[in-house]
Amino acid sequence: MRFGELAADVVVIGAGQAGLSATFHLKRRGVDHLTLDASTAPGGAWLQRWDTLTVESLNSIFGLPLFRAPSLAAEEKASTAVPAYFADFERRMGLNILRPVRVLTVRKSGGEFLVDSTAGRVRARAVINATGTWDNPLRADYPGQGSFAGRQIHTRDYQGPEEFAGQRVGVVGAGISALQHLEEISRHAETFWYTRREPEFSARFDGRGVEERVAGTVERGEPARSVVSYTGLNPRTDYVVAARQRGVLRRREMFTSIVPEGVVAADGSVTPLDALVWGTGFRPSISHLSPLGLVNERGGVAVNGTAATSEPMVHLIGFGPSQSTVGANRAGREAAVSLRRVLGEKK
């Protein structure tokens, strides 16, 4: 796609759950807007999930605005089921998403935002950023890591467990993805599970309380952490139960360095490995916003609600407390309502 130069009151960057919510609410309120999405089809990052991630392994998918939560078959691939639901929402709500369009930079000039992309430039009065985290994997850096003779991949590149059949595999991380990798890889290979801290398991989930704690973190300008770092891991999920029953949920202290043949423990002993799978999470994908100077010296972005504190005409959704599907919906509406009010006052 190529559009040269366009103008709109609001540019929405990204069309995952948060971006679709914002687009819907902007359209419903008659706000002039354009939504740019880097994917080739509806579904956002869900299109890139590994094949063995099925609907039954997911946290619940909260329904999009005025569109009831999908009833999905447990065995269906997440990479097809969720995008199909998003595509149906786009079609029925008459949303116009421009894709594939990847935003390269956003900067401010003369009181307006210049959004430069692979398709051209958009001049806008405000920006809603909904790019999520998938494109910014957190990759660990350990002494000797480059010398490892085996294969190393991040969750971002994970395709499934069969490729590790018969190998000795180190799985690193204490989040949901790491536990899912551990459980299914252990059915095909010998696994070794490493985490920096003792994982926290908790069957109690206080959604509102978690959102408030995450919101407090980002409002103070601290780097946004994963939601699971606040909630802990649910010990009742199928993959955790299965891993525990088969005796593979045995956590090891984090290794101190990496050598060609494996990893080195604090006592100097070497555990031979054929592969390392880094389930070490993601960080907000906001490098295209760098010219705006939103990131502070601590590596975080201070926000007030969904608006960036230092640049209130830029809203970040699917960020901090709105990383969850229910939070993304709410943030999309909040950003749209806020901008409609502010833009109306400035006319």
% of the chain with per-residue pLDDT over 90: 71
pLDDT at position 73 is 82
pLDDT at position 344 is 87
The domains of the chain, with CATH numbers, are 4-135+283-346 (3.50.50.60), 145-278 (3.50.50.60)
- Contact in structure between 106 and 285 (CB atoms under 8 Å): no
Q: What is the mean pLDDT of the chain?
A: 90
pLDDT at position 202 is 74
What pLDDT, in 10s, does the model give residues 246-296?
Answer: 999 999 999 999 999 999 999 999 999 999 999 999 999 999 999 999 999
pLDDT at position 165 is 97
What is the average per-residue pLDDT within 144-157?
A: 97
Is the Cα torsion angle 23, 26, 29, 32 positive or negative in sign?
Answer: negative
Asked if pLDDT for residue 231 goes beyond 80, the answer is no
**CA distances in angstroms from 3 to 32, 36, 101, 255, 268, listed in the order given:** 17, 12, 10, 51, 59
Asked if pLDDT for residue 55 goes beyond 80, the answer is yes
pLDDT at position 227 is 62
Asked if pLDDT for residue 88 goes beyond 60, the answer is yes
- What confidence tier does 70 reach under pLDDT thresholds 50, 70, 90? confident
Task: For the beta carbon of residue 246, count every other beta carbon within 10 angstroms.
Answer: 11
CA dist 125 and 134 (Å) reads: 27
Burial 276-292 (b: 16+ CB within 10 A, else e): bbbbbbbebbbebbeeb
Asked if pLDDT for residue 93 goes beyond 80, the answer is yes
